[in-house]
A and B are shown apart, each in its own frame.
Chain A
Amino acid sequence: MKAPRSGAHRTLAELSVPSEPGNERRAMEEVAGAVAGLELADPTLERLKTAVAEATMNAMEHGNLYRADAPVAIRVSASESELSIEITDEGSGPPTFDSETPDLEAKLEGVQTPRGWGLFLIKSMVDEMNITGDEHHHTVELIVHLDERAEGGK
């Protein structure tokens, strides 16, 4: 269940990225530019960039099936207490993420595929992640708690 929003959010940027391999870097750099005014600490910004890249890659690959005519939409907004990045693809049905928790030893033994790190990385890099979807779209929302930054949060 999605948590109630914290405070009034103002939109910092609305972006669109074509679903082409490698474009997740473009997404993460554009989001980094959009949040520059928030003056996030470097480690927080690097974690956010990785989360954005992974969520965008998943949206391009599994949601939009790398169809060039199906862009990934990204909305960046912030309140006093949190930063929100919503990443929306044009997929239908339940959002697709590899739900298996990655286990490195299992991967090294060939029990798990070497892949499947995306969701794990996203969850590790931000404070909250929400996934919603309907018959036309999937949205992954990444949340960073801004009021915890000064207190040594994630």
Chain B
Amino acid sequence: MAVRHLEVEVRREPGAAVLDLRGEINGFAQETLDAAYTEAEALGLETILLNFEGVDYINSTGIALIVGLLARARAAKRNLLACNLSDHYVEIFNITRLSDFVNVFPDEESALNGEAVQ
């Protein structure tokens, strides 16, 4: 099974920079994810939304990368949000406690409207 390397598109929406993630979030994803987050930061918005709609695999190294993004967001006093996680990865966000710090939404619309899942 070939690795689906992460691809990220950054776009600006009213009130948030959105990172559209596609592929796998694993050890191969670090450079791409960090560069995309830096691009999103440069938009100067207070909120950054990670859209996981195109992500079908996150491993423990990927969780560590998301922790790294969260640390960057907190240091800059930005809100980091997540949307379109599968039920399984919502569970993983819960057991790792990422969801205590990253508000998780079912979809982009609810994220941008601030309707939290939990």
Query: Does A91 sit at the interface, judged by CB under 8 A?
Result: no
What distance in Å separates the Cβ of B57 from its nearest Cβ neighbour in chain A? 6
Interface pair B70/A108, CB less than 8 Å apart: yes
Query: Does A107 sit at the interface, judged by CB under 8 A?
Result: yes
Interface pair A118/B96, CB less than 8 Å apart: no
Count chain B CB atoms within 10 A of each CB in A22, A104, A110, A113 and give the residue with the most: A22
Category for how many chain A residues contact B: 20 to 34
B86 / chain A contacts, CB cutoff of 8 Å: 46
A54 / chain B contacts, CB cutoff of 8 Å: 59-60
B88 / chain A contacts, CB cutoff of 8 Å: 43, 46-47, 50
What's the dominant secondary structure at chain B's contact region?
A: helix
What's the dominant secondary structure at chain A's contact region?
A: helix
Interface pair A24/B68, CB less than 8 Å apart: no
Interface pair A22/B74, CB less than 8 Å apart: no
What distance in Å separates the Cβ of A150 from its nearest Cβ neighbour in chain B? 19
19 new A-B contacts at CB < 8 Å, known A24-B59, A116-B64, A117-B64: A22-B28, A25-B24, A25-B57, A29-B1, A43-B88, A46-B87, A46-B88, A50-B59, A50-B92, A57-B60, A104-B97, A104-B101, A110-B71, A114-B71, A116-B60, A117-B63, A117-B96, A120-B96, A121-B60
Q: What are 5 A-B contacts with C-beta separation under 8 Å?
A: A43-B88, A57-B60, A104-B96, A117-B64, A121-B60
